[in-house]
């Protein structure tokens, strides 16, 4: 997958599409649909529905992982999503503690690399 930098507005549009759009898409989705479609994160069905591609789902998951790492770097505690905790634990980025989870040195290094890339 290409390393595409998305704006907060573009992530908001992806999240809205992931939840499912009933009726007319919001202005946020409208503003960002051309670029998100161009980088293959969303696609338009024949019926007119807008859906996430596998790459779009992966991008949202990675964002949730980065946000969890940032939160744990600030203060150890719980991770909101079990799938994120499982993934970060398998990658040795976080460890379980009495109070929830804590970021490991490997996790801090990965987070520093992510921050250096401006993500």
- Quick one: which H or E segment has residue 115? helix 105-116
Domains of the chain: total = 2
Q: What's the confidence (pLDDT) of residue 2?
A: 52
Strands 42-44 and 50-52, by their bridges, are antiparallel
Evaluate whether 45 touches 51 at the Cβ level (below 8 Å).
Answer: yes
Q: What's the confidence (pLDDT) of residue 13?
A: 96
The verdict on residue 1 lying in a domain is no
- For 64, residues 6+ apart whose C-beta sits below 8 A from its C-beta are 80, 81, 84
Region 5-11: what's the mean pLDDT?
A: 93
Q: What's the confidence (pLDDT) of residue 22?
A: 85
Whether 18 and 42 share a structural domain: yes
Q: What's the confidence (pLDDT) of residue 76?
A: 87
The two three-digit tokens of residue 23, written as one number: 């009726």
Range(s) of the domain holding residue 45:
8-52
Indicate whether 3 pLDDT > 80: no
Whether 88 and 46 share a structural domain: no
Q: What's the confidence (pLDDT) of residue 1?
A: 44
Whether 69 and 47 share a structural domain: no
With CA atoms as reference, report the closest residue to 93 among 82, 107, 76: 107
Give the model confidence (pLDDT) of 65-105 as tens digits.
999 999 999 988 888 789 999 999 999 999 999 989 999 99
Give the model confidence (pLDDT) of 40-71 as tens digits.
999 999 998 999 999 999 999 999 999 999 99
């Amino acid at each position: 997958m290409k390393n595409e930098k998305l704006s907060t507005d573009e992530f908001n549009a992806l999240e809205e599409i992931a939840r499912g759009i009933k009726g007319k898409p919001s202005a946020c989705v409208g503003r960002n649909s051309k670029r998100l479609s161009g980088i293959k994160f969303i696609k338009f069905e024949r019926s007119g529905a807008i859906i996430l591609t596998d790459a779009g789902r992966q991008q949202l998951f990675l964002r949730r992982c980065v946000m969890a790492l940032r939160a744990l770097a600030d203060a150890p505690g719980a991770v909101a999503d079990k799938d994120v905790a499982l993934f970060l634990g398998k990658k040795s980025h976080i460890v379980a503690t009495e109070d929830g989870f804590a970021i490991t040195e490997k996790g801090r290094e990965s987070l520093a690399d992510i921050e250096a890339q401006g993500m």
